[in-house]
């Protein structure tokens, strides 16, 4: 039986921007840090299927950060997570994705659906009075959007800030101005900002930026928002007593907290291990190789003959393995990094994964497996060359063909990052040890 969550009220803010690269991730993290060090309970959410920003926000807020994606996760999932968070938090902060109105669904859709006021972060480094026009456009483009005000980022100084404020539309809240501070920016690589554990002095960076935010008056809580009663889905304990080994380190760090919650709710015992640290494959009933950056650690992973040998035996014994994106890349014979260096890896799947200079795929997809349907998303800079025929393809938006899905006995491997709460029963079937072997992926004829 589903758990009924009563209506709750909590101050809330959705931090958006007119485009990517405006600085909203840094602002959200600093805002979460500011309230957290005041002793407040802070809950941060991330619009879209991102893995990296939530890691930063988890450090800043001291709490797990969940995704709100009306496509991949669905409205029901978003609704109960927000209601549950609002019941225990002093403030709920949602970081938008891309521009405020970009995508279908968009950050604006989330703000309007749940009545969360929007604060837009605008890079004003090359603006003067046009800043006011940008603010007006964001506020008026969609009637009914709960637009609150604007924060000017990367401002040149007090005179520049005054000019921007004077250009603001009448009645719109001015959240303040942040000057340029390169020391507080978050370093990036090809898939976005660095993982939280890779950023030196992360808390010091966030504290420095939080100090500046506090001077703008952003340390004051926004107005409470009403979050309607919702039903939290019941998850049956279909994996009770099952042990799942999960690779987790800088090479395999793309893990939704909601996925871990789902596995625990299903009753599984989670055993984390680090391929980079030399950990052996744990004694487990199933293995999960999440996505991440195996291409950045090719030499160290290539030296793990023991791990790949044990994984071969595990798969050959008909035991369940799920490999997503970087996890799947590790199963091929080689990974070729951006420098053209080839690294020999598991060799479970013949062929190679090659890093590319630009995105290869990005978007929400659905896997219609024999066990049932799961939602997820794809986001990668590599492509594969293999003689292996896919067992099936994921289903993309508007009916387009999505990513290839490879199956060998109980192995399921693809570029798709699955969202386990979309169908816990299917997740249980994939990780259970008593299911028949999947239809084997076949090789092409020579």
Long-range contacts made by residues 123-126, C-beta under 8 angstroms, separation at least 24? Answer: 123/17, 123/21, 123/22, 123/23, 123/153, 123/154, 124/152, 124/153, 124/154, 124/155, 124/160, 124/164, 124/177, 125/153, 125/154, 125/155, 125/156, 125/180
Residue after which a domain boundary falls, among 203, 227, 251: 227
Residue 82 domain flag: yes
What is the model's pLDDT at position 438? 46
Residue 216 domain-assigned? yes
Distance CA 73, CA 67 (A): 8
Residue 384 has a pLDDT of 86
What range does the domain containing 46 cover? Answer: 3-227
Same domain, 173 and 244: no
In a domain, 442, yes or no: no
pLDDT at 359: 66
Does residue 243 share a domain with residue 185?
Answer: no
Q: How many separate domains does the chain show?
A: 2
pTM over 0.95: no
Domain end marker among 165, 194, 227: 227
Please check whether residues 152 and 244 belong to one and the same domain: no
Q: Is 445 among the domain residues?
A: no
**Which pLDDT belongs to residue 201?**
83
Distance in angstroms (rounded) separating the CA atoms of residues 361 and 301: 25
Concerning whether 73 is annotated as a catalytic residue, the answer is no
Asked if 101 and 53 sit in the same domain, the reply is yes
Choosing from 63, 247, 325, 354, the catalytic residue is 325
Query: Is residue 295 situated within a structural domain?
Result: yes
Same domain, 304 and 332: yes
Q: 222 and 256: one domain?
A: no
- The CA distance from 100 to 102, in Å, is 6
**Same domain membership, residue 240 and residue 223:** no
Q: What is the CATH number of the domain that holds 16?
A: 3.40.50.300
Calpha distance 310→314 (Å, rounded): 6
Compute the distance between CA of residue 388 and CA of residue 407 in angstroms, rounded to an integer. 10
pLDDT at 360: 60
pLDDT averages per 10-residue partition of the chain, 446 residues: 94 97 93 96 96 94 97 97 98 97 95 98 95 97 96 94 96 91 63 75 88 87 95 97 97 97 98 98 98 94 97 96 97 93 95 81 90 93 90 90 94 97 98 58 36
With respect to residue 436, please indicate whether it lies within any of the assigned structural domains: no
Choosing from 227, 247, 269, the residue where a domain stops is 227
């Amino acid at each position: 039986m589903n758990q009924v969550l009563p209506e709750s009220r909590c101050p809330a803010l959705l931090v958006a921007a007119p485009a990517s690269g405006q600085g909203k991730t840094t602002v959200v993290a600093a805002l979460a840090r500011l309230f957290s060090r005041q002793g407040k309970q802070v809950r941060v959410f991330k619009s879209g299927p991102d893995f990296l920003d939530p890691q930063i926000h988890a450090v800043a807020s001291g709490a797990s950060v969940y995704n709100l994606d009306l496509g991949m996760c669905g409205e029901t999932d978003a609704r109960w997570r927000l209601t549950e968070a609002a019941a225990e938090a002093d403030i709920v902060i949602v970081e938008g994705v891309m521009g405020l109105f970009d995508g279908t669904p968009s950050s604006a859709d989330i703000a309007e659906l749940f009545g969360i006021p929007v604060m837009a972060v605008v890079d004003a480094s090359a603006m003067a009075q046009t800043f006011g026009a940008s603010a007006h456009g964001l506020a008026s483009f969609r009637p009914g959007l709960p637009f609150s005000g604007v924060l000017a980022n990367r401002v040149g100084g007090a005179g520049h800030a005054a000019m921007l404020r004077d250009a603001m539309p009448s009645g719109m809240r001015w959240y303040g101005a942040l000057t340029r501070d390169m020391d507080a920016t978050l370093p990036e690589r090809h898939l976005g900002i660095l993982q939280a554990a890779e950023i030196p002095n992360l808390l010091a960076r966030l504290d420095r930026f939080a100090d500046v935010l506090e001077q703008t008056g952003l340390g004051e809580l926004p107005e409470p928002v009403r979050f309607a009663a919702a039903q939290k889905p019941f998850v049956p304990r279909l994996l009770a007593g099952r042990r799942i080994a999960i690779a987790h380190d800088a090479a395999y760090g793309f893990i939704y907290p909601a996925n871990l919650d789902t596995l625990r709710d299903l009753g599984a015992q989670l055993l984390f291990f680090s391929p980079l640290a030399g950990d052996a494959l744990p004694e487990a009933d199933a293995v999960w190789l999440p996505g991440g950056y195996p291409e950045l650690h090719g030499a160290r992973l290539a030296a793990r003959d023991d791990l790949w040998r044990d994984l071969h035996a595990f798969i050959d014994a008909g035991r369940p393995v799920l490999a997503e994106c970087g996890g799947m890349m590790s199963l091929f014979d080689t990974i070729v990094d951006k420098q053209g260096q080839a690294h020999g890896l598991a060799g479970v799947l013949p062929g190679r994964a090659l890093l590319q200079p630009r995105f290869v795929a990005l978007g929400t997809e659905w896997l219609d497996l024999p066990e049932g349907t799961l939602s997820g998303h794809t986001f990668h800079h590599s492509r594969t060359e293999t003689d292996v025929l896919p067992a099936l393809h994921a289903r993309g938006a508007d009916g387009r063909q999505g990513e290839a899905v490879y199956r060998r006995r109980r192995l399921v491997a693809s570029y798709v990052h699955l969202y386990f709460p979309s169908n816990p029963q299917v997740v249980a079937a994939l990780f259970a040890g008593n299911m028949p072997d999947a239809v084997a992926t076949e090789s092409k004829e020579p």
